[in-house]
Amino acid sequence: MKQQNIRWGLVIFITPMLLWLLLLIVLPQLDMLFMAVRAENDLGEMGFSLINFKTFFFEPIYWRTFARTATFAIFVTFLTFVITLPVAFYITKVVSPKFQGFLAVLILMPFWVSELVRVYGWMILLRESGFINHFLVKFHILDKPVEMLYNDATMIMGLVYTSMLFMLVPLLSVLESLDNSLIEAAYDLGANMWTILIKIIIPHSMPGIVSGSIVVFMLTLGNYLTPNLMGGKNGLWFTEQIYNQFIASFNWNQGSAFGFLLLILSSVIIWVGLKLSKQKLGQVMQ
Amino acid sequence: MIRNLPQSKRYSLGFKIYIILFFVFLFAPLAITCVLAFNDSMFPALPWKGFTLDWFTGTSIERTGIFHDQINLDSIWVSFKVAFFVSIFSTIVGTMGAFLFEQEEFRFKQVLFFLMLAPLVIPGVILGISILLLSNTLGLFFEQTFGIDIALFRPGFWLVVLGQFSFITTIVTLIVSARLKKFDRTLEEAAMNLGATRFETIIHITLRYLKPAIIGGLAVSFLMSFENFNTTLFLVSSQATLPINLYLQVRDGSTPVINAISVLLITGTSILAVINLYFTKSED
Amino acid sequence: MQESGKDSIDLSVHNATKNFGDFVAVDSVSFDVEKGKFFSILGPSGCGKTTLLRMISGFIEPTVGSILIKNQDMAGRPPNQRPVNLIFQNLALFPMMNVAKNIAFGLERQKEKKAVIDKKTEEILERVGLPGFGEKKVDQLSGGQKQRVAIARSLIMKPTVLLLDEPLGALDLKLRDQMKVELKTLQNQVGTTFVYITHDQSEALVMSDHVAVMNNGIFEQVDTPQNLYAKPATPFVAQFVGENNKWEITIDKVSERKALGITKEGFKFSMPLEENLQNDDILQFFLRPESILLQPDPSIRDLNRFFVSVKTILFDGANSRILALLPQSRREIQISLPQNRQFDHIKIGDKIEAGWNPGSAITFPQEKVVA
């Protein structure tokens, strides 16, 4: 019976899935790759060429931005983890259960607000005419206001701020599932807080840490808004290079090559991360 | 250590201070944005020059409040429309995806599952440009082969909807799957045993059980769409969505009308988040 | 206990009290446990036994009172510096480590040499009957094996006192019975002092040298298992340890030689004569099901004899009972039904004779109602 009847349930459920994934994910990526390996030849005709990739490797500005973006994104991911782990631990394990739900809601609230509003908030806090400078000058800590925007440190802080939610949520859920008696048992067997952190809490939280890190890393790598508005003018982010190729130079083939490289970069780093932490993507993302 | 264990004063005090600093860090930019929306000044900056509602209701040329600022109002309306369609489409397809991955068995299921997760690891900017490229290719193809110009393939409203749909659907699929995973399938078997068809069972039993997750999916997809910037950036035409429109104003400097918009956004999203929380909590 | 010297006391709890806000979880509990003994604390859930155990292990500081281990005051010492180890109710084996790593965890914290740790781990696995299990993952073990790993993980630390928090609770009945015997044997072999808490009287009675019955934060009685059963000190112990038929009786008549007890239903029987027994005294009266004889031999004298009608037969192997109705009342009593084939003829609805020796009853003056 199963062999002859068409399984209508399956057909109904799978059709929109296939359309979505094929038309909006697979084909566009293939088209991007196709565009990336094409360029005009000397006669002005389009044809297969690796010139776009060659440009990338021979123009220091491009590959340096690329390397810088990758390094910063890894650093931002690590920093986000270090900052949010104590917070997630406090909410799930330390604070009295009365406030637990309230704190969890409160902490997620700002992230529902548009990234643009959040970045804008930082801008009016930090810029030369901003809130912090106003008070520093008023209380004579500074003689005249200094520009705190447009440097790497501020940009990193902005990127951490923007993506903290995506580390906090998996950490909260994975720490929620950590049985308190494991911590107590380790304590009873002579462990101190540091050993408990290294031997019990972090190994238990690994799936959450990895899934949070993947999302944070990916969002940071692909972020345009925060580096553009908070970063320095000479410290480009790779997405800005892509944007420039598409919108300013109108060189779509070059832009596609950059896009493809960014995609490879994010895939490789995520793959390495999964290997190092011995986790599987399918499990981590659920 | 943990809450039911005795702990040293220094440890618990240090921890408390850290948490307080974290919350200050978290809320400072939003708080200051909201406060400056009511400052009677031409710039979103201190000093405080008195309270005003001009940036909401003002009508003069140099002080146009958000309620009379046609360009910003238009972009809010565009964002609403985009978010409306994206949330509906994503939720429908995402729910079907949840059924597909949780209840159906088929060959290459694992492959399709990984493909479904792919939008999570593709940077939003790349999604935007790749969809732009494909639509451009298709547009050219149709124009050259059939001589017809299809508006859908040019940057604009529907391409923005499609671009956002392409990754938000993954999120909804994961949200609905998480609840469907906990569903007791003997309930479906019981319904079928009592004479219901598969279709009736899904309508009366399974979808009813999934309601909180579906509402949650709608809310999350609406918010994600409303605030999306990275993907939208490449697909937008002259009809800018609110984040794109705000971006230009923030970059080039503007009056505190942006603060007023921010106040509205913060209020709106908070209300939506609380409603969503209420629904998911009360039905669990 | 009194004559043994102070050195033989491993654990000494003085006046331990713990308040959570207005609620008194543990109320001035004092006791000593001698070296090498198996001491159980038996009580219903919520009686304060877990709180008491957590105070001994250091997870909770007592509000008042002191805890001495080998004559050393433990006040202010965190759990990781106390010579006691706890076996958790859910065992709390670390799922992120294999069996050997679990067992080695404590020694590694003491910076023991790796070779020594490996050797000790092997020895202890052997001792708990799991040789060669070191490389297994925790989730590959059966319930009983997990039990043994948890015990090994604590015993390897050579604690002065090993605390056990109902570790058998999760096992099924057969395995639990088997583990009771194993645990007792193991304790005899290693000679470590065990403090075991449970709500299951059979666990406490089978394994322990001494049992404390705890209720509402206080110790009702500390005694050997035999005495708890035969001579309960309070009505609570009488009801909590073993089955009992309970009545409230009024003393009707005290003669030189005997007294008469009357239940509310008007059922009368003779009572052992005790001092201070007055007419119209109200007593709580307990009678174990096995104290009631079915169809007692007419030659036995001085029995309270009466007829009951059989309502139900509760067959439960060696533990079988008859649920019977007393004459002229709806009052049910439980009577042991020995499975020696002698009573196979008894059927529901039968009227049969039963009787008990007045000396086997346990009585207490009526409890004052405590608010």
pLDDT digits (tens, 9 = 90+) for C258-293: 778 888 877 888 887 776 777 778 888 888 988 888
Query: Do C78 and B4 lie within an 8 Å CB cutoff?
Result: no
Q: How far apart are the CA of C60 and the nearest CA of chain B, in angstroms?
A: 6
- CA C209 – CA C206 distance, rounded (Å): 9
Identify the H or E element spanning C131. none
Q: Return the SS3 of B31.
A: helix
Reported as a single tens digit per residue, the pLDDT across B49-82 is 888 887 888 777 777 778 888 888 899 999 999 9
pLDDT at A285 over 80: no
Q: How far apart are the CA of C44 and the nearest CA of chain A, in angstroms?
A: 22
Q: Are B148 and B71 in contact (CB under 8 A)?
A: no
Of chain A residues 35-54, which have a CB less than 8 A from chain B? 35
CATH number of C245-365: 2.40.50.140
pLDDT at B59: 79
Homologous superfamily of B70-253 in CATH?
MetI-like (1.10.3720.10)
pLDDT at C5 over 60: no
pLDDT at B212 over 90: no
Q: Return the SS3 of C56.
A: helix
pLDDT at B45: 78
**Residue C12, strand partner residues:** C32, C68
Give Cα separations from B125 to A223, B200, B212, C362 (angstroms).
7, 42, 31, 84
Query: Which residue of A181, A188, A203 is in closest CB contact with C79?
Result: A188
- CA B215 – CA A266 distance, rounded (Å): 32
Query: Which residue of B113, B126, B246 is in closest CB contact with A262?
Result: B126
Q: Are B75 and A116 in contact (CB under 8 A)?
A: no
Give Cα separations from A26 to A20, A23, A264 (angstroms).
9, 6, 15
Query: Which residue of C90, C96, C105 is in closest CB contact with A189?
Result: C105
Phi, psi (deg, nearest 5) at residue B253 = 85, 140
Q: Are B238 and A86 in contact (CB under 8 A)?
A: no
Query: Which residue of C81, C92, C96 is in closest CB contact with A204?
Result: C96
Query: Which residue of A105, A121, A259 is in closest CB contact with B29?
Result: A121
Q: Return the SS3 of C314.
A: strand
- CA C261 – CA C246 distance, rounded (Å): 13
- CA B219 – CA B241 distance, rounded (Å): 18
Tokens 């919108």 belong to which residue? A247
C interface test, pick of B2, B3, B5 with most C CB neighbours within 10 Å: B5
Q: How far apart are the CA of B147 and the nearest CA of chain A, in angstroms?
A: 22
Query: Do C94 and A199 lie within an 8 Å CB cutoff?
Result: yes
Q: Is B36 exposed, middle or buried (0-12, 13-18, 19+ CB in 10 A)?
A: buried
Q: Report percent pLDDT > 70 for chain C.
A: 96
Query: Which residue of A182, A187, A190 is in closest CB contact with C94?
Result: A182
Report the 10 Å Cβ neighbour count for B35: 16
Domain residues of chain A, as ranges?
A: 1-36, 52-284
- CA B260 – CA C14 distance, rounded (Å): 66
Average of per-residue pLDDT values in chain A: 87
Which one has a higher pLDDT value, C88 or C271? C88
Q: Are B57 and B263 in contact (CB under 8 A)?
A: no
Confidence of residue A211 (pLDDT cuts 50, 70, 90): confident
Query: Do C92 and A200 lie within an 8 Å CB cutoff?
Result: no
Neighbours of chain C (3+ CB pairs under 8 A): A, B
Query: Do C92 and A182 lie within an 8 Å CB cutoff?
Result: yes
Which residue of C lies nearest to A182 if distances are taken between CA atoms? C92
What secondary structure, in 3-state letters, does C198-247 show?
Answer: ECCHHHHHHHCCEEEEEECCEEEEEECHHHHHHCCCCHHHHHHCCCCEEE
Domain residues of chain B, as ranges?
A: 70-253
- CA B51 – CA B33 distance, rounded (Å): 14
Q: How far apart are the CA of C84 and the nearest CA of chain A, in angstroms?
A: 8
pLDDT at A286: 55
CB-CB neighbors (< 8 A) of C53 in chain A: none
Q: Return the SS3 of B148.
A: coil
Average of per-residue pLDDT values in chain B: 87
CB-CB neighbors (< 8 A) of B251 in chain A: 228-229
Confidence of residue B256 (pLDDT cuts 50, 70, 90): confident
- CA C82 – CA C56 distance, rounded (Å): 9
Overall average pLDDT of the C245-268 stretch: 80
- Classify residue A254 by its DSSP letter: H
- Number of Cβ pairs < 8 A linking chain B and chain C: 10
A234 touches chain B (CB under 8 A): no
CB-CB neighbors (< 8 A) of C60 in chain B: 4-6
What are the tokens at B141?
Answer: 């193809």
What are the tokens at B240?
Answer: 């800018």
- CA A272 – CA A279 distance, rounded (Å): 10
Query: Do C78 and B6 lie within an 8 Å CB cutoff?
Result: yes
Among A32-36, A229-233, B126-130, C74-78, the least confident range: A229-233
- CA A132 – CA A127 distance, rounded (Å): 8
Alpha helices (runs of H) in C5-93, residue ranges in sequence order? 49-57
Q: Is A141 exposed, middle or buried (0-12, 13-18, 19+ CB in 10 A)?
A: exposed
pLDDT at C41: 95
**Which residues have a Cβ under 8 Å from the Cβ of C222 and sit 6 or more positions away?**
C31, C210, C211, C212, C213
**Residue C304, strand partner residues:** C356
- CA C219 – CA C240 distance, rounded (Å): 13
A142 touches chain C (CB under 8 A): no
pLDDT at C367 over 70: no
pLDDT at B283: 53
Q: How far apart are the CA of C91 and the nearest CA of chain A, in angstroms?
A: 8
pLDDT at B282: 58
Q: How far apart are the CA of A140 and the nearest CA of chain C, in angstroms?
A: 48
CA atoms within a 13 Å half-sphere pointing along the CA-CB vector of B61 = 0
pLDDT at A215 over 90: no
- CA B87 – CA A119 distance, rounded (Å): 25
Query: Do B4 and C59 lie within an 8 Å CB cutoff?
Result: yes
pLDDT at C334 over 50: yes
Identify the H or E element spanning B43. none
Overall average pLDDT of the A76-95 stretch: 93
Query: Do B4 and C60 lie within an 8 Å CB cutoff?
Result: yes
User: Rounded to two decimals, what is the model's pTM?
Assistant: 0.84
Which one has a higher pLDDT value, B39 or A233? B39
- CA A245 – CA A92 distance, rounded (Å): 46
Tokens 């896009």 belong to which residue? A259
pLDDT at A235 over 80: no
CB-CB neighbors (< 8 A) of A120 in chain B: 29, 33, 246, 250, 258, 262
CB-CB neighbors (< 8 A) of C154 in chain A: 189
Say yes or no: ipTM exceeds 0.95: no
pLDDT at A1 over 70: no
Report the 10 Å Cβ neighbour count for C223: 18
Identify the H or E element spanning A228. helix A225-230
Q: Are strands C193-198 and C161-165 parallel, antiparallel or unpaired?
A: parallel
Q: Are B246 and B69 in contact (CB under 8 A)?
A: no
pLDDT at C22 over 60: yes
pLDDT at C371 over 50: no
A interface test, pick of B103, B130, B138 with most A CB neighbours within 10 Å: B130
Alpha helices (runs of H) in chain C, residue ranges in sequence order? 49-57, 99-109, 114-127, 143-155, 173-190, 201-207, 225-230, 235-240
CB-CB neighbors (< 8 A) of A181 in chain C: 88-90, 92
Q: Are B161 and B85 in contact (CB under 8 A)?
A: yes
pLDDT at B21 over 90: yes
Query: Which residue of A181, A189, A204 is in closest CB contact with C106?
Result: A189
Query: Do B270 and A24 lie within an 8 Å CB cutoff?
Result: no
Residues of chain C with CATH 2.40.50.140: 245-365
- Fold (CATH) for C6-233: Rossmann fold (3.40.50)
CA atoms within a 13 Å half-sphere pointing along the CA-CB vector of C279 = 5
The domain A52-284 is placed in CATH, from the list 3.10.20.70, 3.40.50.300, 2.30.130.10, 1.10.3720.10, at 1.10.3720.10
What are the tokens at C242?
Answer: 């073993």
pLDDT at C333 over 70: yes
Overall average pLDDT of the C354-359 stretch: 86
Confidence of residue A205 (pLDDT cuts 50, 70, 90): very high
Please state whether B253 falls in left (phi above 0), alpha (psi between -120 and 50) or beta. Answer: left
Q: How far apart are the CA of C117 and the nearest CA of chain A, in angstroms?
A: 14
Query: Do A214 and B120 lie within an 8 Å CB cutoff?
Result: yes
Residues of chain C with CATH 3.40.50.300: 6-233
CB-CB neighbors (< 8 A) of B8 in chain C: none
pLDDT at C3 over 60: no
Q: Are A162 and A226 in contact (CB under 8 A)?
A: yes
Which one has a higher pLDDT value, C102 or B107? C102
Confidence of residue C99 (pLDDT cuts 50, 70, 90): very high
Q: Return the SS3 of B120.
A: helix
Query: Do B117 and A281 lie within an 8 Å CB cutoff?
Result: yes
- CA B261 – CA B67 distance, rounded (Å): 9
